[in-house]
Amino acid sequence: MKANRRIVHIDMDCFYAAVEMREHPELGNRPVAVGGASGRGVLTTCNYAAREYGVRSAMPVFKARALCPNLVILPVRFELYRAASGVVRDIFKRYTDLIEPLSLDEAYLDLTHHKRSGAELAGEIRQAIYDETQLTASAGIAPNKLIAKIASDWNKPNGQCVVAPSRIDEFMHPLPVRRIWGVGPKSAAKLTAMGIETCGELQALDQTELAQNFGSFGLELYKLCRGIDERPVEPNRIRKTLSNESTYSQDLETLEACEQALLNQHHELIEDLRNSAPDRKIAKVLVKLKFSDFRRTTAEMPSTQAEPKLFLQLLREAWGRSGQPVRLLGVGVRFAETDSSPEQMELSL
């Protein structure tokens, strides 16, 4: 691992809700959420005042209102959020060309070429974001992407966390294994059954044991639980797919609730396409579900357009395979083949 790299992960704080609060100063410190306002709608995000009541992203509106009767729910306005994201992206460009956006509200920056410390640069970037957008951001500063992303969540909101190379072992040892990139509920449950909850405990297993239990991902786990991640920041990564997904703290019990959640996801997908892949040709559209019993299913069809009616059709097909409550819902597109090299990574759904 290149220990001298300075990777910063910037993550905007409750981005959509924060933009709406900026546009509505009369709301003051009231709990605010963004999403479908109907009783069967689902929240896209909420501010920290709402989270104090137990309100969470992807929560059905009726449950959110039960927890917080004075919750202000505003409609989604992606054009507004995209404009704010553009200002933030322009600030990043003042510091580096090595920018890897993950969504409208987060990105990796490689600041290795700067002489100043990553902590100083991250603080300066966050201050510029606030000065020019009146929005706050949190940052993780580390020698690699894995640790930087975890660290950006450490001192939220409006904070930052530095993990120096000399502190990697100290940082990783007590870290819950579920915080590792790629460890989902199924892998976490399997590790728990093996008596493993932390990265330190996972480090006690050798590569052979991990490969026997987790296949090729076990070899990745061996590195990741030690904080080893050599992935570069890739500003020009050519994607084979583009997708987003949400895991719900409360399962979606009905097909109608899934349809409302899917429409929210679809809005985000369309904005991501416009923002990060405006010229890519779509070959397929797909919907992914994970049910309450942890079974997964994916439905897809050929299409050159990401129309909502197609995703709803796929949702009904996927839902019909089980009918169980849904804990995770994702939507995505597969792009038409390009001349890209076979080594390019496909985004995981």
Q: Which residues participate in catalysis according to the annotation?
A: 106
Contact (Cβ atoms closer than 8 angstroms) between residue 32 and residue 167: no
Q: Which of 12, 7, 6, 8 is nearest to 158 (CA)?
A: 12
DSSP state of 37: -
DSSP track, 172-230: HTTSBGGGSTT--HHHHHHHHHTT--BHHHHTTS-HHHHHHHHTHHHHHHHHHTTT---
DSSP three-state, residue 107: strand
Alpha-carbon distances of 194 from 142, 190, 201, 211, rounded to whole Å? 30, 6, 10, 14
CB 206: neighbour CB atoms within 10 A? Answer: 11
Contact (Cβ atoms closer than 8 angstroms) between residue 349 and residue 243: yes
Alpha-carbon distances of 308 from 209, 240, 252, 261, rounded to whole Å? 44, 21, 19, 12
